[in-house]
Amino acid sequence: MTQLDLPQISLQRYVELLKRRRWQVIPVSLLGLVIGGIVAFFIPRYFVASATLVYQQPPGDSAVRPNEDPFAAIVDSARLTIPSAIGPTIKGLGWPEGLVADPYELGENIEQIKARLVVGEENTGKDRQFARIRVTYKDRDGVRAAKFTNTLVETWRNQRIEEQAVAAREQQTAANEQFRQAYGAFDKLLEERQHLERTYSIDPSLDQLAQRALSAARSEQLEKSAIELAAKKAEVARLEVTLAEQQDRLKETPARIEPDAALLGAQVGSSAESQQLILQLKFAILKASGFHPGTSYRRHWDRTVAQTREALAKLPGGIAVGEDGMLPNPAHEKLAKEIAATDLQIEELRAVIGPLQQKVDADTDRIANLAVGYGKYERVVEQIESARERQRSASDALDYATQMVGKLGSKPPVSVETLAQPPPRPTEPNIVLVALLGCLIGLLVATMLVLLLDILQGSFKTVDDVERGLPVPVLGGMSHLETEEERQGLQRGRRRVTLVAAAFVILTSGVVLVFYYDPTRLPPFVRELLDLVLGA
């Protein structure tokens, strides 16, 4: 038979093959069971100790969203931080693993212990009110395992509570400092507000709208005063121009003029005597003008003119003519009076403008300062409100931090629910499970060997094999002829194997059942052996 003529693979074929080879498969499976039990017997056995922690929601933790597990972060933190307490625990217990001086060796020892430590949670769900955390540790010594587990959870619990207490005290200190700063800032702002009220004469009883209305009224009054001041200054400027024009005309107008009849008539009135003297004066002046100075006629008429003037001066309201023969110019005197009046008006206006200017300047400065002061005052008032709000927030934060410190001291969030008890016997690994696993592996190995041998063997086993392997038809077959003695011997051998295997399984099962239900019926050495092997 060539490689290409191998029989086709069929599940039914192999099932029938395993039925025929069952006397080879069963012993190998029993051998695997025995080897698995022996291996399990020599595997190191560990005592498993467990303790349970209950973790409530710590005070001060912010609420999570409705669709989140409120304790997920706490459990994850416990898985990370509980192993970190191994070092302090083994040092506190005085274990040799924790007293080594070499940091590397100490780290290796801690890692070995950490490998036998399991931290898990027993309750889950988004609606749970607390987290139940189970800490499990396995060791070759049951008392040592229980003591380590209890010390570990207690050490971690104390560390956790101390960390939260330290954080709460730091928060309390920070809140106290924040409250002190807010209180100091509030007092400084109050002092600044009082200083502004005194400096700018601000009435604290008025609100900001009233203060602004008062400031607007003062600005309006200042504007009126400024308009009045500008009008008076314009009037002074106009009078100064008029005064300059009058002074120019005064310079051009002579102060004294020669008296004539018209002037004298205007001065002395319209009486008959005055009119006659005026006519004589006009005639004497006319005559004198007709002669040359120094002549006797001229001197005569000059004396007549002088005498007539004296006569006019003696009349009521008359005008005395000076020695120079000149009279004061009425136009000059009028201009002089007008100049004096204009000058007086200017002086009066200036007398009013000075105080008014000072008042306007003072009001301008005062309003400008008040605008600055009101701005500062409004900012200070706003800052006072903000400082008051910060003070309230700081006070609330301080009260909350104080309450949190008190809660952590009276009711810690984490507590030990159950302590680990020394287990009476080792429980890991499970020897029965290891033995059954060995039996299963033996069964698989035997099955694979039988199938492999069947595939590698090139002989014909069935009529179909012959028909597929040879191009000739099968005319007949011949069975294996065995003697009666061979047949009986084969049956006896199979019967013995079956009885021995059944007896072994029944005996083992019975002993195990008796050990679990009533171990006192077993001999002491069997009980001790099963206690060591099964550890249940």
Give the domains, in start order, of the chain with CATH numbers.
3-37+427-534 (no CATH), 47-177+396-418 (3.30.70), 256-328 (no CATH)
> For residues 145 and 118, is the Cβ–Cβ distance under 8 A?
no
What is the reported pLDDT for 350? 86
What is the reported pLDDT for 6? 47
Check residues 204 and 454 and name the one with the higher pLDDT.
204
Q: How far apart are CA 13 and CA 6, in angstroms?
A: 13
User: Mean pLDDT, to the nearest integer, of 153-177?
Assistant: 84
Check residues 356 and 211 and name the one with the higher pLDDT.
356
Check residues 38 and 110 and name the one with the higher pLDDT.
110
Structure tokens at 17: 């093959």
What is the reported pLDDT for 536? 47
Sheet architecture: strand order including 131-139: 117-121, 131-139, 47-55, 414-418
Check residues 6 and 345 and name the one with the higher pLDDT.
345
Q: Is the pLDDT score of 319 beyond 60?
A: no
The single residue listed with the structure tokens 């072994």 is 504
User: Mean pLDDT, to the nearest integer, of 193-219?
Assistant: 74
| Residue 41: pLDDT band with limits 50, 70, 90 | low
The single residue listed with the structure tokens 């006629």 is 297
> For residues 381 and 374, is the Cβ–Cβ distance under 8 A?
no
Round the average pLDDT of the chain to a whole number and report it.
Answer: 75
Q: Is the pLDDT score of 321 beyond 80?
A: no
| Residue 2: pLDDT band with limits 50, 70, 90 | very low
What is the reported pLDDT for 320? 54
Rounded to two decimals, what is the model's pTM? 0.49
User: Mean pLDDT, to the nearest integer, of 512-519?
Assistant: 65
**Interior/surface letters 193-231, b for 16+ CB within 10 angstroms, e for the rest:** beebeeebebeeeeeeeebeeeeeeeeeebeebbeebee
> For residues 307 and 299, is the Cβ–Cβ distance under 8 A?
no
> For residues 41 and 533, is the Cβ–Cβ distance under 8 A?
yes
Give, in order, the Cα–Cα distances in Å from 414 to each of 52, 135, 249, 500: 11, 14, 113, 59
Q: Is the pLDDT score of 356 beyond 50?
A: yes
Beta strand 47-55 pairing with 327-328: unpaired
What contacts 260, CB < 8 A, 6 or more positions away? 285
Check residues 326 and 415 and name the one with the higher pLDDT.
415
Give, in order, the Cα–Cα distances in Å from 384 to each of 30, 190, 258, 343, 390: 91, 7, 88, 59, 10
List, for residues 13-32, the tens digit of each pLDDT value.
Answer: 666 666 666 666 666 666 66
Amino acid (1-letter code) at residue 485: E
What share of residues in the chain are helix, strand, coil (percent, to 5)? 70, 5, 25
Supply the DSSP symbol for 46: B
> For residues 52 and 133, is the Cβ–Cβ distance under 8 A?
yes
Structure tokens at 212: 């602004």
Check residues 473 and 481 and name the one with the higher pLDDT.
473
> For residues 430 and 138, is the Cβ–Cβ distance under 8 A?
no
User: Mean pLDDT, to the nearest integer, of 248-271?
Assistant: 65
* Nearest in space to 349 (alpha carbons), one of 232, 228, 224, 242: 232
What is the reported pLDDT for 58? 64
197-206, 263-272, 284-293, 399-408: range with highest mean pLDDT: 284-293
What is the reported pLDDT for 34? 63
The 3-class SS string of 133-162 reads EEEEEEECCHHHHHHHHHHHHHHHHHHHHH
Cα(first)–Cα(last) distance of the chain, in Å? 57
User: Mean pLDDT, to the nearest integer, of 225-247?
Assistant: 87
Give, in order, the Cα–Cα distances in Å from 341 to each of 326, 346, 347: 26, 9, 10
User: Mean pLDDT, to the nearest integer, of 300-318?
Assistant: 73
Structure tokens at 145: 């395992």
Q: How far apart are CA 322 and CA 326, in angstroms?
A: 6
What is the reported pLDDT for 1? 42
Helices (H) and strands (E) in the chain, counts: 15, 6
In Å, the largest CA–CA distance within the chain is 222
User: Mean pLDDT, to the nearest integer, of 480-488?
Assistant: 65
What is the reported pLDDT for 233? 86
Q: The dihedral of CA 389, 394, 400, 406: what is its sign?
A: negative
